[in-house]
Amino acid sequence: MRKNKSTIIWVIVVVFVLGGLFALPKFFGSSSSPSGSGIPCLAQHLPVREHIHPQLTITVDSEFEAIPGTIGNSPCLRTIHTHDRTGELHIEPQDDSRYTLVDFFRAWGQSIEREGYVLEITVDGTRVENPATIIFKDRQRIVMEYTVLEN
């Protein structure tokens, strides 16, 4: 009887230890990612400080380009992510961080620049030269227009 009780206790301890090893990265919001984006995962135990929805539209030679609905969704839900292909971005910091258009492209794993194209960016109708200066705000309208370079 005593041996069975001891075995059961050890099995429970091992289950908790192994469970803890798998749960800790999720609990502490590990920001590691295969792409190395550096955009943190949302930690389940922390509240979201704000939840904003800028709108991003991308055109290439006047043709609309859909933004994937899976950005920032794997292997965890990141602070910057999308849920669908509408161009609505979800920015949900759990601290005082401010995120930019450059951060979104890091989460996406893409470069803002495209070889052979000129990029023009407008935010709420105003032209912006440096994408790193575009700090996301709620209901902001960001338009990125790529035009092929003329030889």
What was the pLDDT predicted at 150? 83
Alpha helix stretches (DSSP H) within the chain: 2-27, 101-108
Average pLDDT over residues 39-50: 95
Average pLDDT over residues 101-127: 96
φ, ψ at 59 (rounded to 5°): -125, 145
pLDDT above 90 (res 8): no
- What pTM does this model have? 0.75
Work out the pLDDT band at 30, boundaries 50, 70, 90. Answer: very low
Give the residue, 2 or 77, on which the prediction is more confident.
77
With beta carbons less than 8 A apart as the criterion, state whether 103 and 82 touch: no
Beta strand extents in 38-140 (DSSP E only)? 55-60, 63-65, 80-82, 89-91, 117-123, 126-128
The bridge status of strand 89-91 relative to strand 117-123 is unpaired
